[in-house]
Amino acid sequence: MSLAAALWFVLGWFLAGFVNGITGFGAAMVAMPLVTQGMDITLAVPACSLMVWVVSLEQGWRYRGHTDWRRIRPVLIGALPGALIGFMVLRHLPPQHLKLALGMFLLIYACWGLFLEDGKARVIGAVWGYAAGLLSTIFGSAFSFNGPPLAVYASLSGWGKVVSKAGLAMTFIVTSSLMVFTQVFAGAHNAITLTAMLIGVPAAIFGSWLGFLASRSMGDKTYRKLFFGFIACTGLNFFWQASRVLW
C-alpha cells in the first residue's frame, strides 16, 4: 500500500466518520470518492466495507440504550437474503440503471423532506423494515452503499435524532457484517484491505467523535433537515455516477 493511498484513505475516513457522527449514515458515500484517488476500486470496496463495520460498531455502542428493537427486527430479517441477491443483481441487471433509479428516488424523497414535509412523526408499519433490510444489503453488496434504504425507513418511522442513530447503527452492524462475510467468501480481502482498515480506524473514530459533539447541540428539526440534505447529496452522487456512463 503506497503512502499516497494511505493518506487518501485516512483523510476519506476522517471526513466519513465526522459525517456519520452527525447524521448516523453516509460514511461510505463520503469516503469512497477520496479513497479511490489512491486505491483501485476492487480494493476500495472491501476495505470500505470493513470500515463501515467498525464505524457502525462504535456508533452502536454509543447509542446502545436507545435502540427500538421492535422496528429493527424486520430490517435484520430482510437483510439476510439481500447480501446474496446483491451479487446476482450485478450479474444480471445493468448496475448503472439501478444507480440512476435509486438516485432519482432519493432526490425526489429528499425534496419532499426538505420542502413539503409537515414535520409530524411518520407511523409506517414495521413490516416496511423487511424491504428496507433487503434493499440495504442488495445495494451494499453490489455497490458498498447500504445506507440509503435504511435512512429512508428511519425517517418514515418518525424516529428522533438519537433513536434514528441507534437504529441505523444496529442495522448497519448486521448488514455490514453480512457484506464483509460474503466478500471474504468471495476472496475480496487481503493484506492491503486489512492494513487499510488498521490505519483508517483511528481517523474514523476521531472524526465520529467530533461529529457526535457537533450534533449534540442540534434539535430534532435541524437534524431532520440535515438528514434530508445528505439524502439529497447521496441521490445526486448516484445520479451523477450513472449519468456519466449512460450519457
Span 104-156, pLDDT tens digits: 877 887 887 777 665 555 567 777 888 888 887 777 766 666 777 887 787 77
Q: pTM for the full model?
A: 0.75
- Dmax over CA atoms of the chain, in Å, equals 50
pLDDT at 86: 65
* Highest mean predicted confidence (pLDDT) among 30-44, 118-132, 230-244: 30-44
Q: What is the rounded radius of gyration, in angstroms, for the C-alpha atoms of the chain? A: 17
pLDDT higher than threshold 90 for residue 199: yes
- The percent of residues in the chain predicted with pLDDT above 70, rounded, is 87
Q: What is the spatial distance between Cα 183 and Cα 189, in angstroms, rounded to a whole number?
A: 7
Mean pLDDT on 35-54: 86
More confident residue, 195 or 218: 195
> Which grid cell is 132?
428496507
List the chain domain ranges. 3-246
228 vs 234: CA distance, rounded Å: 10
Asked whether the predicted pLDDT for residue 226 surpasses 60, the reply is: yes
- Supply the pLDDT for residue 142: 63
Higher pLDDT, 12 or 156: 12
Residue 207 pLDDT: 94
Q: HEC string of the chain?
A: CCHHHHHHHHHHHHHHHHHHHHHCCCHHHHHHHHHCCCCCHHHHHHHHHHHHHHHHHHHHHHCHHHCCHHHHHHHHHHHHHHHHHHHHHHHHCCHHHHHHHHHHHHHHHHHHHHHHCCCCCCCCCCCHHHHHHHHHHHHHHHHCCCHHHHHHHHHHCCCCHHHHHHHHHHHHHHHHHHHHHHHHHCCCCCHHHHHHHHHHHHHHHHHHHHHHHHHCCCCHHHHHHHHHHHHHHHHHHHHHHHHHHHC
Q: Which of 4-8, 43-47, 102-106 has the lowest mean pLDDT?
A: 102-106
